[in-house]
Structure 1
Amino acid sequence: MHYPPFSGRRRGVLAATLVGATLAAAGCAGSAPSAGGAKGAHTIVIGVGQEPDSLSPILGYSKDGAAKLFDGLLAHDADLGLVPALARALPEVSADGLTYTYRLRDRLSFSDGRPLTSADVAFTYRTILDPTVPTTVRSDLAALDRVAAPDPGTVVFTLKYPYAPFPQRTTLGIVPEHALGTLTGPALTTAEFNRKPIGSGPYTVDTWRAGEKLVLKANPNYWGGEPAIKQVTFAFILDDNTRATRLAAGDLDAAALPPKLAERFAKDRTRSTLKVDTADYRGVMLPSGNPVTGDLAVRKALDLAVDRGAMVRGILNGDGAPAFGPVAPSSPLYARELEHAVDAPAAERLLDEAGWRKGDGGIRVKDGRAARFTLLYPAGDALRKDLALAYVSDAKRIGIDISVEGLTWDAIEPRMRADALLMGQGAPYDPDFVSYETFHSSLAGQAFNNPGHYRNASVDALLTEGRTTRDPARRAQVYGDLQRALAADPAWTFLTYLKHVYVVDNDWTGVGGQVEPHPHDLVGPWWNIEKWVPRAASATTS
Structure 2
Amino acid sequence: MFARPTRATGPVRSTRPIRGLAAVAAATALTAVAACSNPSSGTAGAKGAGESAVVGIAYEPESLSPLLGFGKDGNSKIFDGLLSFDAEMKLKPALASALPTISADGLTYTYPLRKGVKFSDGKPFTAKDVVFTYRTILDAKTNNASRSELDAIKDVKAVGDDTVVFTLKYPYAPFAQRTVLPIAPEHIAGRQDVNTGPFTTRPIGTGPYVLTNWSKGEKIQFKANPGYWGGAPKVKKFTMAIIKDDDVRATRLRAGDLDGAILPPNLAAGFKGDKAKKTHAATTYDYRTVTLPTGNKVAGDTAVRQALDIAVDRQTMVDKILEGAGKPAYGPVPTGSEWFAQGTERTHDLTRAKKILDDAGWKPGGDGVRVKNGVRAEFPLWYVSGDKLRQDHALAYASDAKKAGISIKTQAGTWEVIEPRMKQDAVLAGGGAPGDPDFDQYLLLTSSLAGDGFNNMAWYDNPVVDKALQDGRKSADKSVRKAAYDTVQRELVKNPGYTFLTHIDHLYVVDDQWEGLTNQIEPHDHGLASGPWWNVEDWTPKK
TM-score normalised over the length of structure 1 = 0.91
Q: Secondary structure at the match of 2:439?
A: coil
Matching residue of 2:368: 362
Flag the 1:207–1:38 CA change in 2: closer, same or farther, 3 A. Answer: closer
Q: How far does residue 170 in structure 1 lie from its aligned partner after superposition?
A: 0.2
Native 8 Å contact 1:52 1:520 kept in 2: no
Give yes or no for contact 1:247–1:253 (8 Å, CA) kept in 2. Answer: yes
Shift of 1:36: 6.1
Cα distance in structure 2, aligned partners of 1:520 and 1:509: 21
Count, aligned residues:
500
- Paired AA for residue 82 in structure 1: L
| 1:146-165 paired onto structure 2 within 5 Å | 146-165=155-174
Contact kept? 1:282, 1:423, Cα under 8 Å: yes
The amino acid that maps onto 2:53 is I
The answer to whether the aligner puts 1:388 opposite 2:394 as a matched pair is yes
Which of 433, 436, 446 is the aligned partner of 1:430? 436
Return the alpha-carbon distance in structure 2 between the equivalents of residues 508 and 521 of structure 1: 19
Unmatched 5+ stretches in structure 1? 1-33, 537-542
1:166 to 161, 175, 187: 175
Per the alignment, residue 534 of structure 2 pairs with 527
- Give the equivalent residue in structure 2 for 1:254: 260
Cα distance in 2 for partners of 1:498, 1:45 equals: 24
SS at match of 1:403: strand
- Amino acid corresponding to residue 383 of structure 1 in structure 2: L
C-alpha displacement at 1:40, in angstroms? Answer: 3.7
| Residue of structure 2 in register with 1:182 after alignment | 191
Alignment correspondent of 1:540: none
For 2:329 and 2:293, the matched residues in 1 are separated by: 19
The CA distance in 2 between the partners of 1:506 and 1:134, in whole Å, is: 41
Aligned 1:438-457 pairs, distance under 5 A: 438-457=444-463
Query: Paired residue for 1:113?
Result: 122
Q: Which stretches in structure 2 are left out of the alignment for 5+ residues?
A: 1-42
Secondary structure of the residue aligned to 1:479 is helix
**Sequence identity of aligned pairs in percent?**
53
Q: 2:100 — aligned with what?
A: 91
Quick one: distance in 1 between partners of 2:527 and 2:195?
17
Q: What is the aligned partner in structure 2 of residue 209 from structure 1?
A: 215
Partner in structure 2 of residue 78 of structure 1: 87
| Corresponding residue number in structure 2 for 1:459 | 465
CA displacement, residues 502-540 of structure 1 (integer Å, 9 cap, x when unaligned) = 00001100001000000065221111110000012xxxx
CA offsets, 1:322-341, max 9 Å, x none? Answer: 00011112211112311132
CA distance in 1, matches of 2:135, 2:44: 44
Q: Secondary structure in 1 aligned to 2:285? A: coil
Instruction: Note the 1:92-491 alignment, pairs <5 A.
Output: 92-183=101-192, 187-491=193-497
State the match for 2:12 in structure 1. none
Q: Distance in 2 between matches of 1:132 and 1:353?
A: 49
CA distance in 2, matches of 1:38, 1:438: 42
Q: Alpha-carbon deviation of 1:429?
A: 1.8
- Shift of residue 492 of structure 1? 0.5
Runs of 4+ that moved beyond 4 A: 36-39
Contact 2:97–2:112 (CA under 8 A) maintained in structure 1? yes
Kept after mapping to 2: 8 A contact 1:36/1:43: no
Q: Cα deviations across residues 317-359 of structure 1 (Å, max 9, x unaligned)? A: 0000000011112211112311132101100000000000000
Deviates more, 1:338-347 or 1:160-169: 338-347
Deviation string, structure 1 residues 260-279 (Cα, Å, up to 9, x no partner): 10010001100100111001
Cα 1:216–1:38, aligned 2, differ >3 Å: closer, same or farther? closer
Distance in 2 of aligned mates of 1:262 and 1:87: 39
CA contact (8 A) 1:129 1:138 kept: yes
In structure 2, give the amino acid aligned to 1:266. Answer: K
Note if 1:502 corresponds to 2:508. yes
Query: Residue 111 of structure 1 contacts residue 199 of structure 1 at CA under 8 Å; is this kept in 2?
Result: yes
| 8 Å contact kept, 1:37–1:507 | no
**Residues 378-423 of structure 1, C-alpha deviations (whole Å, 9 max, x = no match):** 1010100000000000000000001011101111111100100000
Per the alignment, residue 74 of structure 2 pairs with 65
Residue identity opposite 2:497 in structure 1: A
The whole-number CA distance in structure 1 between the counterparts of 2:341 and 2:511 is 39
Which one-letter code corresponds to 2:194 in the other structure? L
User: SS at 1:62's partner residue?
Assistant: coil
Comparing 191-200 and 117-126, the one that deviates more: 191-200
**Equivalence for 1:18:** none
Q: 1:507 to 1:269 in 2, by over 3 A?
A: same
Distance apart, 1:38 and its partner CA:
5.4
Aligned mates of 1:239, 1:217 — CA distance in 2:
26
The one-letter code sitting in structure 2 at the alignment partner of 1:250 is: G
Q: CA deviation at 1:362?
A: 0.2
Query: Contact between 2:44 and 2:52, CA under 8 Å: does it hold in 1?
Result: no
SS in 1 for 2:327: strand
Q: CA RMSD in A?
A: 1.1
Contact 2:384 2:415 in 1 (8 A): yes
Q: 1-side partners of 2:467 and 2:478: how far apart?
A: 17
Q: TM-score, normalised by structure 2?
A: 0.91
Contact 1:52 1:521 in 2 (8 A): no
Deviation at 1:37, TM superposition (A): 7.9
